Structure 1
Amino acid sequence: MILQPINAKLTIDQIVALESMMCSLEKYKPKSIEEKVTYSVIIDLSDKINKPYNKIIKSADLFSDGKKIKLQLKLHEAFALLGFIEMHLKSLHKESKSRNDLLKLLLFIQDEFAKF
């Protein structure tokens, strides 16, 4: 049985929120083995997120609001991202745009895992 990756179509705001979250990796101090594994996967995933973020920054204009960016996540990447988003959401203000963007992504990933 071959497991298919999760194909996400993210908004520009979601990519920016993810990049902002990745910047908080410096402050993250994993303690348990599960947290260390998650951290390891997230470090690799941060490179995957940084590429579309840099592309957005270089080519941002007034007409790119509705544009979607494709991001393909392997299952272990999606699982680690799910855990990291859950931890990060606790530190964000409940009504912030960034929190809402990450929450939508979290719910999407959870729905994708429910299909397995």
Structure 2
Amino acid sequence: MKKISLSISPDGLFALEKLLNQVPDFRPTMFEGFVIKSACIDVAEMVHRKYRKVSGEFDVFNNKKKIKINLKYHECYHLLQFMTIMESITPLHFHLQTIKNFLDQKTA
């Protein structure tokens, strides 16, 4: 299976972790929504583990050091779909928009 490596700054990781904290509250109404939620729960756990590990090590304002997250193709696709849904509710932060654009390029 194709893996996609996502390199993000600490700010991007914190913004992504905050967005993915909303996954348990996401109430899907159709089958596609349940698939998106299921895949995003796994991604949220992975990002949260990385967030806890990195939160004590990195300076928030040091954007030179990048954090690498390896995602499977289907996780990237469903994360992109979740970000698109959440963008319709609230506008995405700059770092989240950058991540969304990267995922869109990799899954196209």
Task: Note the aligned Cα RMSD (angstroms).
Answer: 1.7
Matched residue count: 108
| Residue in structure 1 matched with residue 87 of structure 2 by the alignment | 89
Preserved CA contact (<8 Å) 1:5 1:73: yes
> TM-score, structure 1 length as denominator?
0.83
| Residue in structure 2 matched with residue 110 of structure 1 by the alignment | 104
Tell me, in whole angstroms, the C-alpha distance in 2 between the residues paired with 1:83 and 1:62.
27
Preserved CA contact (<8 Å) 1:92 1:99: no
> 1:7-55: CA deviations, max 9, x gaps?
1111111111111011112321011000001100111111110111112
- Quick check: 1:9 aligned with 2:3? no
Give the aligned residue type for 2:74: H
Q: Which ranges in structure 2 are unaligned for 5 or more consecutive residues?
A: none
| 3-state SS in 2 of match to 1:71 | strand
Tell me, in whole angstroms, the C-alpha distance in 1 between the residues paired with 2:22 and 2:45.
14
| Residue in structure 1 matched with residue 77 of structure 2 by the alignment | 79
Tell me, in whole angstroms, the C-alpha distance in 2 between the residues paired with 1:29 and 1:20.
17
Tell me, in whole angstroms, the C-alpha distance in 1 between the residues paired with 2:2 and 2:61.
33
Structure number with larger C-alpha Rg:
1
| Residue in structure 1 matched with residue 94 of structure 2 by the alignment | 100
| Residue in structure 2 matched with residue 30 of structure 1 by the alignment | 28
The percentage of aligned residue pairs carrying the same residue is 27
| Residue in structure 2 matched with residue 48 of structure 1 by the alignment | 46
> TM-score, structure 2 length as denominator?
0.88
Preserved CA contact (<8 Å) 1:82 1:109: yes
- Quick check: 1:59 aligned with 2:53? no
Preserved CA contact (<8 Å) 2:10 2:60: no
Q: Which ranges in structure 1 are unaligned for 5 or more consecutive residues?
A: none
